[in-house]
């Protein structure tokens, strides 16, 4: 398999104190899935790692068309989705419960609106399937509507919202034409050790010791968000994990971090 890495578009964050007026920006759900690129013949992670989707899943996707999206197993099913997507030879039947949610076509020229229309036409000309969908985009009427939509989304088990600037081009790397809207933020940590549990958790992992992926000198511990099974078999040193948090401390480390799961790539 020939793997060609695509430098995907990454979001900055938006909050109520932001100077960016979201009016007329396009709003969509921030999916709790695994970021994936369809190369026209197979799936890869944003870092170029292959995902071994079964043939029945890939058969419905368009050949020779690069698509940017997420493999999605439903709200609140992130860790289960990661397990399915990371599997090489097993769990093929479980791909039946995933959908490739498409939010961009990186090599299609033009504005985001033009690329979005391309995706809608592509779906109209494709066989009807549950394995791929285009993420719905709706115009934002302003900050009040955006915040009300965020509350509703999170009350329904969603992770948050995404904002796309009208007329924006596809850019590689982090850009301010793509913004994420969440009550909690998230970041990547690298496991560097663990703390033994006490009391009810005696004999299993009590907390993970992590360093920030983007700043390894800054370390912190994560002690919540784990299932009993995960505490019995915690991630090994060097594993990249996702944690959510309310805010950064003055020292630049996550305050009240909560474990989300292992990053798929």
Catalytic residues: 30
Q: Say if residues 220 and 253 touch (Cβ distance below 8 Å).
A: yes
Dist CA 30 CA 135 (whole Å): 10
Which H/E stretch holds residue 10?
strand 9-14
Dist CA 184 CA 242 (whole Å): 12
Q: Which distant-in-sequence residues (6+ apart) come within 8 Å of 60 by Cβ? A: 126, 127, 129, 131, 132
Q: 9 by DSSP, 3-state: which?
A: strand
Measured from the Cβ of residue 190, the count of other Cβ atoms closer than 10 Å reads: 19
- Tokens at 107, concatenated: 């090599």
Dist CA 206 CA 221 (whole Å): 10
Dist CA 211 CA 218 (whole Å): 6
- Tokens at 85, concatenated: 């997507």
In DSSP terms, 215 is beta-bridged to 212
Dist CA 172 CA 65 (whole Å): 18
In DSSP terms, 189 is beta-bridged to 212, 241
């Amino acid at each position: 398999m020939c793997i060609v890495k695509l430098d995907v578009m990454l979001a900055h964050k938006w909050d109520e104190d932001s100077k960016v007026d979201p009016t007329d920006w396009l709003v969509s759900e921030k999916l709790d899935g695994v970021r994936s690129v369809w190369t026209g013949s197979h799936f890869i992670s944003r870092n170029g790692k292959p995902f071994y989707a079964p043939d029945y899943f890939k058969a419905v996707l368009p050949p020779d068309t690069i698509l940017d999206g997420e493999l999605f197993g439903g709200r609140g099913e992130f860790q289960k989705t990661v397990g399915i997507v990371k599997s090489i030879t097993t769990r093929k039947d479980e791909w039946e419960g995933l959908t490739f949610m498409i939010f961009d076509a990186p090599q299609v020229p033009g504005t985001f609106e033009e690329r979005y229309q391309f995706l809608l036409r592509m779906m109209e000309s494709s066989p009807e399937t549950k394995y791929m969908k285009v993420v719905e985009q709706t115009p934002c009427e302003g900050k009040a509507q955006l915040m009300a939509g965020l509350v509703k989304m999170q009350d329904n088990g969603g992770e948050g919202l995404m904002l796309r600037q009208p007329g924006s081009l596809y850019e590689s790397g982090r850009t301010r034409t793509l913004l994420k809207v969440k009550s909690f933020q998230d970041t990547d940590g690298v496991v560097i050790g663990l703390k033994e549990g006490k009391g009810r958790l005696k004999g299993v992992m009590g907390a993970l010791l992590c360093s920030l992926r983007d700043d390894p000198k800054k370390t912190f511990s994560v002690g919540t968000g784990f299932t009993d099974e995960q505490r019995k078999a915690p991630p090994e040193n060097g594993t990249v994990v996702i944690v959510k948090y309310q805010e950064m401390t003055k020292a630049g480390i996550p305050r009240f971090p909560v474990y989300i799961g292992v990053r798929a790539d």
